[in-house]
Every structure is written in structure tokens, then in C-alpha cells.
Amino acid sequence: MAASSQRNPSAHLQRRDLPGRPPQDGYGVYIYPNSFFRYEGEWKGGKTHGRGKLLFKDGSYYEGEFVHGEITGEGRRLWAASGNTYSGQFVLGEPQGHGVLQYRAGGRYEGAFHHGMREGHGCLVDQDGQVYQGWFHGDKRHGHGQMAFQNGDKYHGDWVRDQRQGHGVLQGADGSTYEVPAGRSPSRPCEAGTVTTPPRLVTKPRPDELTGPG
């Protein structure tokens, strides 16, 4: 569930490159000559500045803050092609800072972004309800993090490019734990690490269990 596809290179709207006369100051509505963009909101010095909504011909839109003609500040973005939505901080048209990315297929990511990608600490919930909390780099789980799986297992340890790798502890839903040394993968056989099983509960049998009925 990558976020890198959510970048918006067309967000840099240079007024000097567009013919016509957009509004100068205050509130105004402007349809750009290519008919792909429609903006309604605040203007300053002939540039989008303040709060407004930029609509795209394909059904996508951005609604939020603009600074000197750029999508910068707090806002919400919908990508019509993917159906994904993002709410949070933007810098020069890209998600950057803290935000929430909601995936149309299910699942969501909340945390840090940089240049439109998941970067830094965050929480990812996939469409199956599995939860990862930890560090991201280059839009992938990378660094230290913990994962709660659908079957009840939990992993706490190192990740490299979306894969569990390095030192970590895999805790089974039954209470057993599997400690993986650095350089191993928790998906390898048990001899790659140390397995600890929970103690069994021993109870004293009842007299009828020893003698039987009658």
C-alpha cells in the first residue's frame, strides 16, 4: 500500500504561465484555460492564497490552504483514480508532515510523510485489520516496529524494506515466544532462534476421574 503514487506534480500552478486574468484579491472563482483546473476560494496578488478548493477534471480535488499559489498548509486531497484520500499537512503540493492516508481498498496510515511518502514514525492498519506501529523509510516499513497479525501473533523487532529482518521477538497467540537473533528472519525454522513455550496448567484430578462412575 504505497503512498508514493499520491504525489501531485501538477500542483505547482505558475500564474505567469497561464493566459487570462485570474482574480487579484479576495474571493473568486477561476477556470483555467486548459479547463483541467477550477479554483474557488481566496486570492492575493493574482495567486491562490488563503483557503480554497482546487477541482480537477478527472474528479480529483484539493481543499484547504494555499500560500502564494502553492498547495501548502493543512488540507484534504482526493485522488479520483485510486479513490485514496489524504488529510493533513502539505508542502508544495505533496503530503509532508503529519497526516492520515485512507485507502479505498481498506486500511489507513497515520503518521509522518515526506515528499508524498511515508517517512518517519507512523501506524499502518491494513485491510485485514493487521496493525503495524513503528518506523518507515522510503514508503516502506523500515527500522524498529511492532506488528499485530490477524491470527493473534505479534512481532516486535527490526524491519528492512517491508520485511521482518534483524533482531526481534515473535509472540504466538498461544503465549509462546520465538526470539530471533540479529541477521535471521523469523520465518526461518526454529533452530534459527530460541523458542519459549508457556507453562502448562496442572490440576489435581477429581476422585471420580480416578475411579470412574458408579
Residues 159/143, Cβ–Cβ less than 8 Å: yes
Q: Which candidate, 62, 69, 107, places its Cα nearest to that of 88?
A: 62
Residue with cell 505558475: 14
User: Whole-angstrom Cα distance, residue 126 to residue 106?
Assistant: 7
> Which residues are 177's β-sheet partners?
171, 196
pLDDT for residue 46: 95
pLDDT tens digit sequence for 112-148: 999 999 999 999 999 999 999 999 999 999 999 999 9
pLDDT for residue 57: 94
pLDDT for residue 3: 53
Q: Where in the chain is the domain with CATH 2.20.110.10?
A: 12-105
Residues 122/131, Cβ–Cβ less than 8 Å: no
User: Whole-angstrom Cα distance, residue 72 to residue 50?
Assistant: 10
- The residues, ordered by sequence, that sit 6+ positions from 148 with a Cβ below 8 Å of its Cβ are 130, 131, 132, 154
| Residue 57: strand, helix, or coil | coil
Residues 66/49, Cβ–Cβ less than 8 Å: yes
Residues 3/139, Cβ–Cβ less than 8 Å: yes
Residues 53/39, Cβ–Cβ less than 8 Å: yes
Q: Which candidate, 104, 107, 103, places its Cα nearest to that of 128?
A: 107
pLDDT for residue 183: 57
pLDDT for residue 135: 99
pLDDT for residue 44: 97
pLDDT for residue 14: 40
Handedness of CA 21, 22, 28, 31 (dihedral sign): positive
pLDDT tens digit sequence for 193-211: 454 444 444 344 444 443 4
User: Whole-angstrom Cα distance, residue 136 to residue 117?
Assistant: 9
pLDDT for residue 98: 99
User: CATH for 12-105, among 3.90.226.10, 2.60.120.260, 2.20.110.10, 3.20.20.140?
Assistant: 2.20.110.10
pLDDT for residue 128: 94
Counting as low any pLDDT under 50, the low residues of the chain are 4-5, 8-19, 188-193, 195-214
